[in-house]
Structure 1
Amino acid sequence: MKVNNFINEKSQQLCYYLRGYWGNLIAYSELELFFWDVLEEWSQVEYSLEQPYSSQERVFWHLLHQIHYWDAQKIMLDDDLIEELQRCACFLEGTGRCPIDCVGIRP
């Protein structure tokens, strides 16, 4: 699988899981399992270190790292964090602008 295809597919899934968590439809443990599944699947993607990042890829990795870094309560209740994560999700879903402060990198 190519990097762009992987990022396109996983971006939509990431937004689905995050919004499901905010809507109390998905448990935090499922969000964490998704994180680990993405990393496992990423290990099978072939890419070169010279391959440039797209804006979508940077935002994707940033958002993925954020949901793993912060605990369940902070992701659910911290208004500033929620706003940041929503901006990222909206961009990945194609309904918002690219956040300028996302510095996501490949694992």
Structure 2
Amino acid sequence: MLELFIEHKTQQLIYYASRFFRGRMPHTELHLFIWDTLEEWAQFGVRLKTPQSYREQVFWHVLHQLEFWPEQQLMSDDVLRQNIQYCLSYLRGKGAVPLDCIGIRP
């Protein structure tokens, strides 16, 4: 059940983040998606903090990055954007495992 949740939310995360970075979605909508995802996750009541796979680890890392950094930083910091795009590429199944993405479950 948790694996299906992560897979479903990963596809949504890719969609929302990609649209945001292309200027086709306001930051507020991305923010709402993230908080809705965290609210749904809380309903599972998972106590383990360690993700079950690299994919889940990268998912939590990207979610955190998108919520942690202000909109202006996300849009203007080329290194930050490149790192997030690299992670999104992996989540799409088109890139290698990003070794510097350390995500933990909330």
1:6 aligns with 2:5: yes
Q: Which runs of 5+ in 1 are unaligned?
A: none
- SS of the aligned residue for 2:85 comes to helix
Q: Distance in 2 between matches of 1:85 and 1:101?
A: 11
Q: Per-residue deviation at 1:47?
A: 4.1
Q: Which runs of 5+ in 2 are unaligned?
A: none
- SS of the aligned residue for 2:29 comes to helix
Moved over 3 A (4+): none
- The root-mean-square deviation of aligned C-alpha atoms, in Å, is 1.6
Q: How many aligned residue pairs are there?
A: 106
Q: Percent identity of the aligned residues?
A: 45
Partner of 1:82 in structure 2?
81
Partner of 1:36 in structure 2?
35
| TM-score relative to the length of structure 2 | 0.93
Task: Within 5 Å, give how 1:83-98 maps onto structure 2.
Answer: 83-98=82-97
| TM-score relative to the length of structure 1 | 0.92
1:72 aligns with 2:71: yes
